[in-house]
Structure 1
Amino acid sequence: MKAATIKLFLVHGSPNGLRTAELSNWSGKAIAAPRTEVSELLKREELTSPGFYLLTGVDPESGDRTIYIGEAENVANRLKGHAAKDFWNAVTVFVSKDENMTKAHIRYLEGILIENANNNGNSIVMNSASSGARLPESDAAEMDVFLEKCLQLLPVLGISDFNKKVDQASESKDLLYCKIKGLIASGKRTANGFVVFAGSQAVIDHRPSAKRMKAKREQLIEKGMLKENGDHLVFTKDIEFGSPSTAGSVIRGGATNGLTAWKSSSGKQLKEIEENET
């Protein structure tokens, strides 16, 4: 992405409260708020326009991040319908300041975001299906540029679900490995936790005590991110976890200290590596 100047306005002075975000020379605008300030958010004139929104939170059972992506011609009215859902604790809305966004445009953006979130696997996507929309070639190109700007702003607003994962090939010198029962997995620290690379192996059986991790692994199997391969499981794609310990626990089928389980090719533990860097 290109360098950009971001204008962040804290409406009530709180960095986690109601806030707006804009990029220089961009027609879009983001408005974000915690659930506790949604009533204030709904009063804003921008939310009567067409736009798309993201509801983010944490799954109470797995502890994983959750996200719901929606669109509406009147965002404020649509958000009122989500009041009964308890999985989310924050909302981020994107609208266009030049009022040229149509229903087809926001459905197109919604469809791409849902697909990206599902493919990335960084969080549980609460949408049952992706609607999407077909656009004329010129409109699609324009919306792709708009979306690029949105993705540039999202991490600043605390949403990392669409961040690109580490490239395994280009970062091979920093790879870490987790081994158990002749199986091996490779991964790397990231800004948001720890990514396990496709092709990594994991034990097929859960430990009897690993109830929470069992649910997490079964969820990944159901999504096709982990597949059985003889007497073990294989990661079918890169998956980013919240910590090295969560990544190691999925691989080993139970509670794991990721700081000692993940090691460099020379056998140095992640804990040692990070201690030497500080």
Structure 2
Amino acid sequence: MQPATIKIFLTEGTPDGLRTAEISNWNGKAIACPRANINGFRTRPEIDSPGVYILSGSDPDTGKPTIYIGEAESVRSRIANHTNKDFWVSVTCFISKDENLTKAHVKYIEGQLIKQANDSGKVCLMNSSSSGARLPEADAAEMDVFLEKIYQLLPILGIAHFTQIEEEPSPRELFSCKIGSLVAHGRRTTNGFVVYKESQAVLKHRKSAVHTKRMRESLVENGILKELNDHCIFTLDHEFSSPSAAGAAVRGGSTNGLTAWKNSNGKSLKEIEAS
């Protein structure tokens, strides 16, 4: 992503209230608001425009972060149709300041956001598919630029579920976690720790592992961990919140990730960071 200057305006003076966000030299605008102040959101004149929106909350049964992604020719009208959904506690929408977004544009953006959310594996998505839209090559390129700005703003507005795993590291940044003959590879990221595709993990959880068991079962349910003979493998790169969470997924129980993950010279994360 390109460096950017971001302007955030707290319309009520509070960081968790209704706020707008813009990026220099970008024709888009973001509006984020807690559900508790949905009436204030509805008074915004910009939301009569076409746009995409994200409803954010958590699953009432599992507590897992949950979102719904939608598009509309009038964001105001569409949000009114979601008052029967109980899970969401905030809404974030993106519109164009110059009113150049069409129905096809916002459907294309919606489809890309849904795909990215599904690929991230970080969130429960209420709508798992989208009709999307096919755009002329020039329009698709323009919307991809619009999407890049959306991805820059989302974490700042409290939605980190779309964060893409960073590019491959240099060899010296690669770490390994071993248990018996099984080996997993990964590295630190700005958001935690990523374990790479084809890394190995134990087949069974430790009897004492309650939280880890639930986490690993979720990874299996989502196809991220797959059983292979007497162990499991990661079917894709997956980012965890910390080295310890990553190590626990590999070893099947509580793990000190700072000492479990070591580089090619045998130095642990703890030793490297201490030096």
The TM-score normalised by the length of structure 2 is: 0.89
1:1-278 equivalent positions in 2, closer than 5 A: 1-59=1-59, 64-168=64-168, 170-276=169-275
Q: What's the offset of the Cα at 1:109? A: 0.6
The 10-residue stretch of structure 1 (13-22 or 54-63) with the greater mean CA deviation from structure 2: 54-63
The 10-residue stretch of structure 1 (193-202 or 265-274) with the greater mean CA deviation from structure 2: 265-274
Q: 1:196 to 1:86 in 2, by over 3 A?
A: farther
Q: 1:231 to 1:3 in 2, by over 3 A?
A: same
Specify the code of the residue in structure 2 equivalent to 1:189.
Answer: R
Q: What's the offset of the Cα at 1:220? A: 2.2
**C-alpha root-mean-square deviation of aligned residues, in Å?**
2.2
Specify the code of the residue in structure 2 equivalent to 1:217.
Answer: R
The 10-residue stretch of structure 1 (231-240 or 150-159) with the greater mean CA deviation from structure 2: 150-159
3-state SS, counterpart of residue 264 of structure 2: coil
Q: Deviations over 1:127-152 (max 9, x none)?
A: 23222111223322221222122222
The 10-residue stretch of structure 1 (159-168 or 111-120) with the greater mean CA deviation from structure 2: 159-168
- The alignment covers a number of residue pairs equal to 275
Q: Deviations over 1:13-35 (max 9, x none)?
A: 22232111112222110011233
Identity across matched positions, percent: 59
User: How far apart are the structure 1 equivalents of 2:107 and 2:188?
Assistant: 34
Specify the code of the residue in structure 2 equivalent to 1:191.
Answer: T
Specify the code of the residue in structure 1 equivalent to 2:268.
Answer: Q
Q: What's the offset of the Cα at 1:11? A: 0.9
Q: What's the offset of the Cα at 1:185? A: 0.9
Unaligned runs of 5+ in 1: none
Aligned residues of 2:118 and 2:128 also touching (Cα < 8 A): no
Q: 1:167 to 1:136 in 2, by over 3 A?
A: closer
3-state SS, counterpart of residue 98 of structure 1: coil
Specify the code of the residue in structure 1 equivalent to 2:200.
Answer: Q
Unaligned runs of 5+ in 2: none
Aligned residues of 1:34 and 1:91 also touching (Cα < 8 A): yes
User: How far apart are the structure 2 equivalents of 1:158 and 1:194?
Assistant: 20
Q: What's the offset of the Cα at 1:63? A: 5.5
Q: Deviations over 1:91-122 (max 9, x none)?
A: 21101112222222111110011111211223
3-state SS, counterpart of residue 82 of structure 1: coil
Q: What's the offset of the Cα at 1:89? A: 3.1
The TM-score normalised by the length of structure 1 is: 0.88
The 10-residue stretch of structure 1 (5-14 or 51-60) with the greater mean CA deviation from structure 2: 51-60
User: How far apart are the structure 2 equivalents of 1:105 and 1:19?
Assistant: 24
3-state SS, counterpart of residue 56 of structure 1: strand
User: How far apart are the structure 2 equivalents of 1:272 and 1:123?
Assistant: 33
Q: What's the offset of the Cα at 1:87? A: 3.6
Q: What's the offset of the Cα at 1:183? A: 0.8
